[in-house]
Chain A
Amino acid sequence: MKLQRLTTATITLLCAGCAGPQSALSPAGVEAERIASLFWWMTAGAGIVWIGVMMLALFAAKERGRGERSRGGRWIIVGGAATPAVVLAVLLLFGLAMLPDLLAVPPKDTMRIHVTAEQWWWRFRYEIPGRIPFETANELRLPVGEPVEFLLHSTNVIHSFWIPSLGGKMDAIPGRVNRLVLHPTMTGTFLGTCAEYCGVGHGKMAMQAIVVPKDAFAPWVDTMQGAVRP
């Protein structure tokens, strides 16, 4: 949505410290953009609330002996109960409205990559219709502007697949296959990591997603096919 793009772009410009190849705050994908925008709105709201509560507390502390009980009582009802009830309901609705899109099944012809989390590296198996499947390790190459469906597997312990600039994370759990859909919107190299403690190598279980223009992707697939024996 345009508003989300604008919000996140503005803030990323202002907050130069937020940029980075592994940053949820410099989004390069549809999902990451939506979540980053939500984050900035919530942060602004939280900031206002915190300042408001602190100012109220300071004011209360200064009113030595002059405060009326009924006024204090109204603060409790309005500030403590009524306002949060309304604000939280609104936040709940906005937050949940985003959820179905983040969880939706992508269109039938979406490129599918099977991710198998090993200890402690990532195995990617590309299944492109009409092509022989091929695998890469720790490195993904994705076409910009297209959705990709990741199916997450693990044969050992629980891991979590996370490329912050592109979107949220999803766990790879033995016995289950979880789905994560990402839509990269910018080219570049984006770093990811495992986000569920999986043993001694957890801190070094990194990966990278190289997002390339669409016309650079197909030739890359060809070279990978060349590497796979039919």
Chain B
Amino acid sequence: MSSHGTHHEVAEERQSLWLLVLSPSIWAVHFLASYAGAAVWCSTIDDRAQSVDAMRLWIVLFGLVALLCIGIIARIGWRKYKFEGGDPPFDKDTAEDRHRFLGAATVLLSGVSAIATIYSCLSMLFIRNCL
């Protein structure tokens, strides 16, 4: 079937479901930090009409960092997905198929997390101030 080394890589002890939810968690961290940051920023300035370009820039920059991290996770997921060949659907009762499935799901969740993060950054395009 597979070599001992491969068994080791897909053995249950080395797996967890945390990778699956890491990308959405990164989206959540970026989103909450942007919201909290904006709320605090807008509450501390005196004139809500003044320009908040710096804050917008931070949100976008932080968003790019988040996208980078999501990309890394997507890549890890991709490698699991493509583990030793194997085609979808990954529905056989083997550790390898379970590994590929988790990788594929990680890639998909990274995709939706990336889109949601991009949307957050896009939303900063038109807002100029705290009104």
Asked whether any CB of chain A lies closer than 8 Å to the CB of B128, the reply is yes
Could you tell me the dominant secondary structure of chain A's interface residues? helix
Asked whether any CB of chain B lies closer than 8 Å to the CB of A93, the reply is yes
Work out how many contacts link A and B, with CB atoms closer than 8 A.
29
B47 to chain A minimum Cβ distance, whole angstroms, is 10
Known: A96-B125, A96-B126, A97-B126. A89 touches B119 (CB 8 A): yes
Asked whether any CB of chain A lies closer than 8 Å to the CB of B123, the reply is yes
From 80 to 131 in chain B, residues with beta carbon under 8 angstroms from any chain A beta carbon are 111-112, 115, 118-119, 122-123, 125-128, 131
Interface residue count on the A side (C-beta < 8 Å)? 13
Query: Is A92's CB under 8 angstroms from B131's CB?
Result: no
CB-CB under 8 A from A104, the residues of chain B are 131
Residue of A with least CB distance to B108? A81
Query: Is B123's CB under 8 angstroms from A96's CB?
Result: yes
CB-CB under 8 A from B122, the residues of chain A are 89, 92-93, 96
Asked whether any CB of chain B lies closer than 8 Å to the CB of A227, the reply is no
Query: Is A100's CB under 8 angstroms from B123's CB?
Result: no
The CA-CA distance from A88 to B115 in the complex, in Å, is 10
Asked whether any CB of chain A lies closer than 8 Å to the CB of B45, the reply is no
Residue of B with least CB distance to A98? B126
Residues of B within 8 A of A (CB): 49, 111-112, 115, 118-119, 122-123, 125-128, 131
Residues of A within 8 A of B (CB): 81, 85, 88-89, 92-93, 96-97, 99-100, 103-105
Q: Top 10 closest A-B pairs, CB basis? A: A103-B131, A96-B126, A85-B115, A97-B126, A105-B49, A100-B126, A96-B123, A92-B119, A92-B122, A100-B128
